[in-house]
Amino acid sequence: MSLEWILSPQRIAGAATLVVGYAALCARVAWVSRRKRLDLSHGNEEAAGHSQWPAVLVCYASQTGQAEGIAREAAGMLRASGMRATLMPVDAVGADMLRSHERSLWVLSTTGEGDAPDHALPFVQALLPKSLSLPNHQSQVLALGDREYREFCAFGEQVHRWLEAQGASSELTRVDNMDRDTLRAWQARMNERKLEWLGGTDSQPPAPDEEEWLLPPATTLVRLERRTLLNPGSQGGPLYQLDWVAEPGRELPHWESGDLASLRIPADPAHPRDYSIASIPQDNVLQMLVRLSVREDGTPGMASGWLCGGIREGDSLEVSVRRHSSFRLGDSAGRPLILIGNGSGLAGLLGHVRARIARQQGDQWLIFGERSPVHDALLDQQLQDWLQSGQLARLDRAWSRDGDNPRLYVQDVVLEQADAIRAWIARGAAIFVCGSLQGMGQGVHKALRQVLGEEALHELVQSGRYRRDVY
């Protein structure tokens, strides 16, 4: 062992970290027990105090809320251990902020075809092309993805490589379809890192309740009150409206319009299925629209087959609500809304329409696409009633199988109504798109780019005025 090495700045800095870490650990033991008696706040006000404790930046990029949920839990866990954890979406992360932190934790999902989630665009365009010097920075990257996609975890990998190129040390973990074993292993590793960050692994092992900080959201038992076929005679797959109510003596979980209901079906409890919630809590019903999917061999899909046929009215099921921040109304709750979608995507849009009607805001325009006006005019009476009463300002429907009429899709309506779309945007409207990615989501995006221009659409994404739930 050379003298230079013993006296090297890194060694001295390491020893100093250990001393500070030990002090932090002592304080932490007292503080953790206090925290356990307090309600664990996820607000960033926690990050402001306790300046003597190690600071971690917890960043997320999330399209449907899973990465955000994990980041939130991780920040809560770090705070409960006595660290200063600042939670933020990646688009709020700046160069100075990264330089001023020695540790960061990234939870990043990949969407589209290997793309970053929509809200991460400013980060991708402004920060990723930059060169920063982060030689002492330690980062953990948790990349969420799905192996079914060719570009598995591409965005998480991109950020991991970028961090390494800036001189940071980075550990990458890829998670396939929220695999619980991978998440549990990562969680165990984070508990180790946390102790290192706090000043040495030879300190106390984590308390048992700290190990399970990635708990799944609470579930509630609900009963299927009614199942209604919405498109009898359709050439497409049957689409059902499912109305769930609370079991006697229980309450439905809380949600906001845009959120998802996560169901565990008996045949495959390890893989919950998410559905957009079409109702609002004031309805006292949790409503969803489910299309029966049919496999290539003609047999019904496992989850949709059971929901559309297996489970009977009166039967019960565990459900949990998944916060879907990127598709909630958020700051757009008071703006005029343009709601665009197709098929079962109507569910996500209906939630917003109902939430706004409850707020007595009828300034909303629904552009909806289906196959035939004869068989697929979903919830037509309800939509017509809203239109009559002014609770819906405009309703445009695009039918792709309407006798001899030319095939019309929602993106065609967007192009046809370009002037009106521009006028709505000029007076502050926000756009929400829900439904299939292939064809609809991509087509509408292209049409909007044509109508509004690349830059204006980009600005709408950045300011949260263009939100998509496409699958």
Please list, in sequence order, all residues whose beta carbon lies within 8 angstroms of the beta carbon of residue 208, skipping any fewer than 6 positions away.
none
CA dihedral 230, 233, 238, 244 (to 10 degrees): 30
Least distance (Å) from ligand FMN to the CB of residue 296?
21
Q: Does 151 bind ligand FMN (CB under 6 A)?
A: yes
Among 85, 127, 144, 414, binds ligand FMN (CB under 6 A): 144
- Binding range to ligand FMN, per CB under 6 A, among 34-42, 145-153, 225-233, 288-296: 145-153
**Smaller CB separation from ligand FMN, 372 or 436:** 436
Least distance (Å) from ligand FMN to the CB of residue 152?
4
Q: Does 276 bind ligand FMN (CB under 6 A)?
A: no
Least distance (Å) from ligand FMN to the CB of residue 428?
27
**Smaller CB separation from ligand FMN, 155 or 244:** 155
- Binding range to ligand FMN, per CB under 6 A, among 10-18, 146-154, 183-191, 369-377: 146-154
Q: Which of residues 411-440 bind ligand FMN (CB under 6 A)?
A: 437
**Smaller CB separation from ligand FMN, 42 or 223:** 42
How many residues lie near ligand FMN (CB under 6 A)? Answer: 25
Least distance (Å) from ligand FMN to the CB of residue 111?
4
Find where tokens 């961090």 sit.
163
Q: Which of residues 91-110 bind ligand FMN (CB under 6 A)?
A: 109-110
**Smaller CB separation from ligand FMN, 144 or 172:** 144
**Smaller CB separation from ligand FMN, 111 or 287:** 111
Q: Does 120 bind ligand FMN (CB under 6 A)?
A: no
The pair of structure tokens assigned to 337 is 């809304």
Least distance (Å) from ligand FMN to the CB of residue 92?
16
Task: Report yes or no: 226 and 253 within 8 Å, Cβ to Cβ.
Answer: no
Least distance (Å) from ligand FMN to the CB of residue 156?
8
Q: Which of residues 26-85 bind ligand FMN (CB under 6 A)?
A: 62-67
Q: Which of residues 163-192 bind ligand FMN (CB under 6 A)?
A: 178
Least distance (Å) from ligand FMN to the CB of residue 333?
22
Least distance (Å) from ligand FMN to the CB of residue 469?
9
**Smaller CB separation from ligand FMN, 108 or 392:** 108
Among 88, 121, 152, 225, binds ligand FMN (CB under 6 A): 152
Residue of closest CB approach to ligand FMN: 145
Residue 370: which of 340, 348, 401 has the closest Cα? 401
**Smaller CB separation from ligand FMN, 22 or 149:** 149
Q: Does 149 bind ligand FMN (CB under 6 A)?
A: yes
**Smaller CB separation from ligand FMN, 289 or 429:** 289
**Smaller CB separation from ligand FMN, 303 or 392:** 303
Site residues, ligand FMN (CB under 6 A): 62-67, 109-114, 117, 144-146, 149, 151-154, 178, 437, 470-471
